Amino acid sequence: MLVALDRRAPFEDVRDFAHELAELLAERHPELLTTAARKQARERRLYLDIQCNAYGQTAVTPHAVRALPGAPVATPLSWSELDDPDLTPQRWTPTTIDERLASDDPWKQELRRGRSLKAADRRLEKL
């Protein structure tokens, strides 16, 4: 998920918010989501990776070729694509990524303005 922020909240507050939100989502949808870092504990659930929200941590950039068999390419997804039964981590490769880039890329639209973390944090507290 990509959220444009207004850059007013300190890094630590953003990281804490992401952690709290991921834990809440995993708690409410345990059959679909998890924050378990070990692959064996995830089963077939979607991993909400909150470990990469720290200084010096790495993340896979959009459209990066992964160092895995078949050279899969990481690409942003839209919410509607998550229901696609043909969706796998190997869906796009260097030989098929052109097809993806020619379609509607969820990150292609420019984000109009950043949002305040304060409003989102107040809403999260109410949940």
At 17-61, the pLDDT tens digits run: 999 999 999 999 999 999 998 888 898 898 998 877 677 776 778
Q: Is the pTM of this model over 0.95?
A: no
Query: Which residues partner with 46 through β-bridges?
Result: 33
Cα-based distances in Å from 34 to 39, 42, 43, 96, 109? 10, 6, 9, 30, 29
Cα-based distances in Å from 25 to 18, 37, 49? 11, 15, 12
d(CA 3, CA 95): 30
d(CA 77, CA 125): 28
105 has a pLDDT exceeding 80? no
Instruction: State CA 107 to chain mean position distance.
Output: 12
How many CB atoms are closer than 10 A to CB 33? Answer: 19
Q: What is the pLDDT of residue 29?
A: 95
